[in-house]
Amino acid sequence: MINSMQMALIKKDIKSITANKRMFSVILIVPLVLTVFMPSIFILSAYFVPEKTSDFQQLLELLPSSQQTGDLTRMIMALTINNIMPMFFAIIPIMAASVMAASSFVGEKEKRTLETLLYCPLTLKQIFYSKILASFAMSMAVSLISFLGMTVVTQVEILLLTGSMLLPDINWVVILLLVAPAVSLIAITMIVRGSAKAQTVEEAQQRAAFLILPIVLLMVGQFTGFILISVWILLGFGAILAVIAWIYMQSAMRKVTYEMVLN
């Protein structure tokens, strides 16, 4: 359970990020570019590029026969929203976490408030857990805002271009409730732990780069037609990530020490 002191620490960390215009703009602008600008390019390309030259033809052939019906333009739009964009979206929790979590302990060092924090009536484990929860809350908020922004913009574009909307499918339920939280928790735990040992925010952020690689490989698989992400693949992927996230967080909390934080 979270006590009042931990909640106060969580609120303080979130407030410090939202008050920093430079960091807060990075947290919001980059995800919105990925989830609003990128899908808009795909949707407009699907509508204006001649069908015979469409680069999506190979991917469309991999869809189940039940989905290979109707207008080709709407098929490409559906493929973009429900099969390609989830992979772009999976990067957002990592990016949001890398900005906030990296400044958790190392930010306290830079502001010379770490010693004061360690003197508060909380154990180091409770402080570590609070830092993770603060970053997790911010990461999930950014993910939700990005999803809502993407949904509103793309649905308006599709409605104007084709005359009817094309709502996200069940893939997005799995992404929002399982994959994104799991990816976020792994990234945050890794970065917060690194922040406890790092001397600068940039040093702590470097760890997040390793988590983006598997997502990039899945993207490559999508665009080359090697693999088409389905709801079952997402469920399996998310379940594995959730287990890894829980085990890693518990292990990290056991290993963090005062010596690690103060060095």
Q: How far apart are CA 248 and CA 22, in angstroms?
A: 30
Q: For residue 171, give the nearest of 63, 85, 92 by alpha carbon.
A: 85
* Mean of pLDDT values over 196-223: 62
Q: What percentage of residues in the chain have a pLDDT greater than 90?
A: 7
Q: For residue 150, give the nearest of 168, 173, 137, 171 by alpha carbon.
A: 168
The reported pTM is 0.81
pLDDT band at 56 (very low <50, low <70, confident <90, very high): low
Q: Please tell me which of 114-123, 193-202, 254-263 the model is most confident about, judged by mean pLDDT.
A: 114-123
Q: What is the pLDDT of residues 157-179, one digit of tens each?
A: 999 988 888 888 888 888 889 88
The backbone torsions φ and ψ at residue 24, rounded to the nearest 5 degrees and listed phi first, read -65, -35
- Output the six-digit token pair for 38: 């990128």
